[in-house]
Structure 1
């Protein structure tokens, strides 16, 4: 394997950088050693060689490597899984360079994007690719320009005795404690709402028009058959006493305006 096979994007970052070389099955140890020795000629600060299957188990710290060269040693038998790419982006520094070869044509570009890489270039003719890590640390956060600071907050150092509370009795005055007049709370007898209905007969329409309480009028009904007092069994279909209990003959019964004008 010749050092000239290293992509130019990575060559520019080798000097004084920490480099990780990943190799897979099929590559001879002699080729791996020769490749790492050639890298040292670029005045790298440190070169670490790791097998694909051991990378995740190695437990490298976050943001360690400037350049990662993966599967560049023949016969290029390794495949970059999404799990492997996620581990690589974690251990790389910001704006780091990641170059390699894939075993065969696959979804390497899509997996690189999903793992968090950017500025991805892929060459289908030889299954090679290069990508960069973002210019910010993985897991970092930043305040948005339109984010507004909190209007007020209480310090964690304050104790209950230092916090001035509002007396809830001061929030009410004498008018709030007065019991409202029942006449002012009247609602329509038909709709149950404060607004009078179209054919209002309970007096609510007149009350709202005059802004003064109006008591519903009542009328005294007179029986034409003389048997209304006996109960519903002796009353006609239009009897104003229909539905009312029996009463004594001559007893005065007061009916409301609504009862005297039933909806037919």
Structure 2
């Protein structure tokens, strides 16, 4: 197993050894003895370009403002960290108060690909995923075996036609007219055959003979065409007595020529 490597970065010009020691204890909790940590002050996105990828076990960032580190620097921290490595963003008391109201650092860590992000009273911790970028592994293929369907040949099949009764097989009889439907033989709601009008006339006390021989509205229908209105239904018919049934001769429609 190789030597444990700790990287400390800060946006300040100088940092005290006691501050670095306190931050390391918050991260590792005396689990690992850190010997000669690498410290980079006034760190920028280009400060880590000389470090090899996956060469650092843990990183401590001593932050004076929430703007540190930048998105580019976070990308480089993720690059130099070993898979599963931890990062602690150690904040001063004033910056911790700002962090509780501002989630910008959390959003930046999520976009940089860090996991297990949680806040502490002294700052924020997170981890790099345990897998390397570009690593691959085989996916388990889904089984293509179809489930077996058990068929029981002893089941008796029923002929659907045998379920029909004689009443079901009878051909339905269509009604002779709209007004003939039903036992009472009353005129239907939208009667168009004249039954509704006849029923109203019966209510007025007219006989069937009077219904078959409608009465004239003006009293002149029976006098002939010279006395009939232009819309009279008896236009062209011979004279007749009002109230009598009109009878036409057998040769009425025969041509005179």
The normalised TM-score by structure 1 is: 0.40
Q: Looking at CA atoms only, which structure, 1 or 2, has the larger radius of gyration?
A: 2
